[in-house]
């Protein structure tokens, strides 16, 4: 998906932006939940029922709660995959877009960080993957190397310079 296509569909709340790797991870997780976890939870329920009276059976309650949580996660993954738009590296060359890896320097502290801009479904700030909807991601989108951008966060405003874009 090109940067222009992303901007045109940015208002569409039914879109989940994913990299190819992120899409694959979600598919693998869904497959695991359906083929491995669902049968495991079903077996836990069968075993708990076999113990007799389920009205005061903590094992049965626990298994039913696990089943509800599991089915919720399966439904969420199916929804995300159904509404997924794969991010292609087709943005305007040299501009920050979805899928870009951006190295920035905080103008005040001099601290350098590298981020990969991804859709919110793949965001993992501890792994350097920030959402295009986050304050930093939103501020960086569309800018070029050398640009200084202001980032407004709940904790205040700070400035960062874009050092490189890959």
**Tens digit of each residue's pLDDT (9 = 90 or more) over 12-47:** 568 898 888 889 999 999 999 999 999 999 999 999
pLDDT bucket at 10, cuts 50 / 70 / 90: very low
* Burial of residue 155 (number of CB atoms within 10 Å: 0-12, 13-18, 19+): exposed
With pLDDT > 70 as the criterion, what percentage of the chain qualifies?
A: 90
pLDDT of residue 4: 37
pLDDT bucket at 6, cuts 50 / 70 / 90: very low
Indicate where the chain has its CATH 3.10.50.30 domain(s): 101-165
Q: Which of the residue ranges 89-98, 136-145, 155-164 would you say has the lowest mean pLDDT?
A: 89-98
108: left (phi over 0), alpha (psi -120 to 50) or beta: alpha
CATH of domain 101-165: 3.10.50.30
Residue 3 half-sphere exposure, CB side, CA atoms within 13 Å?
16
Indicate where the chain has its CATH 1.10.287.180 domain(s): 20-86
What is the bridge-based pairing of β-strands 16-18 and 129-131? unpaired
Tokens of 137: 């991601």
pLDDT bucket at 5, cuts 50 / 70 / 90: very low
pLDDT of residue 94: 83
Give the three-class secondary structure for 144. Answer: strand
pLDDT of residue 159: 96
Q: Which fold has domain 20-86?
A: Helix Hairpins (1.10.287)
Query: 113 and 101 in contact (C-beta within 8 Å)?
Result: no
Residue 116: other Cβ atoms inside 10 A? 19
Residue 49: other Cβ atoms inside 10 A? 14
Mean pLDDT for the stretch of residues 66-76: 97
pLDDT of residue 90: 52
């Amino acid at each position: 998906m090109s940067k222009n296509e992303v901007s045109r569909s940015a208002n569409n709340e039914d879109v989940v932006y994913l990299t190819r790797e992120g899409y694959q991870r979600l598919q693998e997780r869904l497959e695991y939940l359906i083929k491995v976890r669902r049968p495991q939870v079903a077996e836990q329920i069968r075993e708990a029922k076999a113990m007799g009276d389920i009205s005061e059976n903590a094992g049965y309650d626990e298994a039913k709660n696990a089943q509800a949580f599991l089915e919720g996660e399966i439904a969420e993954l199916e929804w995300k995959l159904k509404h997924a738009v794969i991010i292609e590296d087709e943005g305007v060359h040299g501009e920050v877009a979805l899928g870009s890896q951006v190295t920035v320097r905080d103008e005040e502290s001099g601290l350098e960080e590298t981020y990969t801009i991804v859709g919110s479904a793949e965001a993992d700030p501890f792994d350097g993957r920030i959402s295009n909807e986050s304050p930093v991601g939103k501020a960086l989108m569309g800018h070029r190397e050398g640009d200084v951008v202001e980032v407004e966060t709940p904790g205040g405003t700070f400035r960062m310079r874009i050092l490189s874009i890959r």
